[in-house]
Amino acid sequence: MLGAARRQLGSGPMLGQVLRRLRPAAATEAARGYSAAAKEMTVRDALNSALDEEMSADPSVFLMGEEVGEYQGAYKISKGLLDKYGPDRVLDTPITEAGFTGIGVGAAYHGLRPIVEFMTFNFSMQAIDHIINSAAKSNYMSAGQISVPIVFRGPNGAAAGVGAQHSQCYAAWYAHVPGLKVLTPYSAEDARGLLKAAIRDPDPVIFLENELLYGESFPVSAEVLDSSFCLPIGKAKVEREGKDVTIATYSKMVGYALQAAEILSKEGISAEVINLRSIRPLDRAAINASVRKTNRLVTVEEGFPQHGIGAEICMSVVEESFEYLDAPVERIAGADVPMPYAANLERMAVPQVDDIVRAAKRACYRAVPMAATA
């Protein structure tokens, strides 16, 4: 395997249950703000097509990980790639994250562009030394002489009924580290455009997908389907415009925020939903511009509340736009406990649409404050 990774590659000819979710209601879909499109694409197909096109365009790109080849990926993200590019560019690895991640980083040192798939980002903890000390710091420590163009990708955050050791959100973990870029796609457009950008980037990129979004379909335009399509890293997207309150979030929670915004609209509250897309770098300008318009902010994330993404967003707004705030910032996050296994407790441990609705109402002084109900 190491020999295959070291040479210039040429183009060649734990089983995971795929969890699908129902498409959102038509009203929510219309609220996403996508341009008219004749085609829909699942997040799974968006990721697969981005991998295929980048591997076709650049022979130095290769994929490695557990079951990415013969089994075509635990979630079928790499379907068809082994047949098309062969075992030198789609490498099935043993169950040893520390081993194959280290090989991937070494291949990136030699000028290749590895894509390392973790069956779940929880398993990346086995390889975190390579990700942080070997990949993230090498460019700085070599005074720019060593580039590490590598992508670490896989499902992140809560799935369904997989317990505390398989349900963590690692956005805040990796966003803490200088030298890494951290991307969190929501839609098919995000998945396709951001993965292409990650593969082309000269620096290590953490690409946090969500298992429950793989089977969800989104409208895509002809521009998105073009092989040259690529989204800029570090730029957020306003998924829904509003004037009363800003809801800033990422990954699966964007869908929840859009559903909440639709509910709020029926009660006369106009919510602006920001899809962060990129956690590091964070689009502070877009967040602050929205808050300066709406004068209120709600942050939403699945991860733990302490030292989380929401806390960083809140601090950014306090530093740059405090005088524009008309209400205290509301922060919605996962419960500060290991993820329960029982379905009823699991649901209580992650943010729900109703939580976002209540927080937005509090920010707009349309509900009794939490302290008054304690």
Q: Which residues are known to be catalytic? A: 97, 166
The helix/strand/coil state of 268 is coil
Q: What does the alpha-carbon distance between residue 129 and residue 135 come to, in Å, rounded to a whole number?
A: 9
**Cα–Cα distance, 253 to 273 (Å, whole number):** 10
Exposed (0-12), middle (13-18) or buried (19+): which is 57, by Cβ within 10 Å?
middle
Report the distance separating Cα 166 and Cα 171, nearest Å.
Answer: 14
Question: DSSP alpha helices (H): ranges in the chain?
Answer: 2-6, 26-31, 43-57, 81-85, 97-109, 128-129, 138-141, 171-175, 188-200, 222-225, 252-265, 284-294, 309-321, 343-349, 353-363, 370-373
Beta strand pairing status for 245-249 and 297-300? parallel
Residue type, 2: L
